[in-house]
Amino acid sequence: MRKKRIAILGSTGSIGVNTLRVIAAYPERFEAVALTALNSVKELDRQIRQFRPKYVAVGQQHVAVLKKAHARLKVLDVAQDLAQIVTSADIDIVIIAMTGAAALDPFLAAVRAGKTVAPANKEALVMAGDILMAEARKYGATVIPVDSEQSAIFQCLQGRDMKDVHLVHLTASGGALRDVPRSRHDKLSVRQILAHPRWKMGAKITVDSATLMNKGFEVIEARRLFAVAAEKIKVVVHPEAIVHSMVEFTDGSILAQLGVTDMRLPIQYALTYPERLSTGTTRLDFAKLGTLTFEEPDLRKFPSLQLAYDVLERDGLAPAVLNAADEVAVEAFLGGRIRFTQIYAVVERTVAAHMKGSECRKVGIDQIRQADVWARQRATEEIERL
């Protein structure tokens, strides 16, 4: 069997490292052909020595260092050359494990090259999911989600007809602040917010989990990936994070995907799909688990989730604005420039300003890029006004 040749965009992050663990567990099946990072040169260097990729890409200022250390390696600029990597004939599967809107262009390039694309990144799908999925269909690309909730829905939908879907139940662990009253949210340190109770993830997505914006993004992501109507996507808080999501069919039957909270499961499934292999992770023991609990999300305490539904209803460029404003606001929070509850304030004001303006009817990729630039500028101004 020929090895599957994999590009990991964002190999030094939480998803990237877990993808490499999966690859390392099956060296006879997978090969890491391209690895990329922004600034984590030391970790990237370690990965290069272990996995011997053909291509790497890194922030421009680090290119010379890596070239010097690895004379025969093709070292590229991560801001310019990701499209070149993902469209290369040497690549079968592109894992999009990098954060943020920067993933949009390589995602688009990969689907246009007809690759198998496995996005953990949700920002690109929020911004331009309809275009990405339409291009995937047009160019015969396969999109297999890695985000655990979307992977769960994808698995529950295998062999099903979308017309039979009554509801998608998107589970949310509730984030670090589920049991913390809103009045205390601004008193918590960045470090406390980053201590997610269930998943060990990068800083941006952990903050988004605490505001529930992450779940809002996932509602939009599910709408794009599975073409399911927004009113059919229901969020339910499930603190144990064992049920990764469910699909309810017209007859009342519900299929759920369950598993331990280990990202290697959805990552490996995307790499082996439709086959399944052992992951070496611990297995669920229902008797030990005892109880699984579910509750309504508290939209007053976490208004970001409702904002995402409102944005999806407006659609057009609004999701791209939501995403860009959130990226700017979360970065400001992580940098200690705004308080936790001000993340929502900045995002909501930016989205409101967009919605007040006249809506552009044509939503092409260029309009999305312009909306992204506009929203970043506006969110920065909103931060200055606070």
Ligand X SMILES: NC(=O)c1ccc[n+]([C@@H]2O[C@H](COP(=O)([O-])OP(=O)(O)OC[C@H]3O[C@@H](n4cnc5c(N)ncnc54)[C@H](OP(=O)(O)O)[C@@H]3O)[C@@H](O)[C@H]2O)c1
Rounded to the nearest whole angstrom, what is the least distance from the CB of residue 208 to ligand X in the complex?
7
Q: At what angle do helices 203-211 and 213-226 cross, to 10 degrees?
A: 100
Closest to 142 in 3D by CA, of 274, 266, 53: 274
DSSP string, 236-298: EE-TT--EEEEEEETTS-EEEEE--S-THHHHHHHHHTT------PPPP-HHHH-----B---
If the CB atoms of residues 265 and 349 are measured against ligand X, the closer one turns out to be 265
If the CB atoms of residues 305 and 349 are measured against ligand X, the closer one turns out to be 305
Rounded to the nearest whole angstrom, what is the least distance from the CB of residue 83 to ligand X in the complex?
12
Rounded to the nearest whole angstrom, what is the least distance from the CB of residue 147 to ligand X in the complex?
4
Closest to 23 in 3D by CA, of 210, 277, 215: 277
- Whether the CB-CB separation of 133 and 112 falls below 8 Å is answered with no
d(CA 185, CA 201): 20
| 99 phi/psi in degrees, rounded to 5 | -90, 155
Rounded to the nearest whole angstrom, what is the least distance from the CB of residue 8 to ligand X in the complex?
8
Residue nearest to ligand X according to CB distances in the complex = 13
If the CB atoms of residues 13 and 53 are measured against ligand X, the closer one turns out to be 13
- Interacting residues with ligand X (CB under 6 A): 10-16, 37-40, 78, 97-100, 102, 120-123, 147, 199, 201-202, 205, 263
- Whether the CB-CB separation of 109 and 139 falls below 8 Å is answered with no
| 95 phi/psi in degrees, rounded to 5 | -95, 120
If the CB atoms of residues 208 and 349 are measured against ligand X, the closer one turns out to be 208
Rounded to the nearest whole angstrom, what is the least distance from the CB of residue 128 to ligand X in the complex?
14
If the CB atoms of residues 250 and 377 are measured against ligand X, the closer one turns out to be 377
Q: What distances in angstroms separate CA 319 from CA 3, 7, 26, 218, 242, one per listed residue?
A: 38, 27, 38, 12, 29
If the CB atoms of residues 7 and 38 are measured against ligand X, the closer one turns out to be 38
Structure tokens at 305: 């989730």
Rounded to the nearest whole angstrom, what is the least distance from the CB of residue 153 to ligand X in the complex?
13
Rounded to the nearest whole angstrom, what is the least distance from the CB of residue 162 to ligand X in the complex?
23
If the CB atoms of residues 121 and 350 are measured against ligand X, the closer one turns out to be 121
Rounded to the nearest whole angstrom, what is the least distance from the CB of residue 246 to ligand X in the complex?
18
d(CA 377, CA 386): 15
If the CB atoms of residues 78 and 383 are measured against ligand X, the closer one turns out to be 78
- What DSSP state is assigned to residue 74? E
d(CA 188, CA 210): 11
Closest to 119 in 3D by CA, of 106, 131, 130: 106
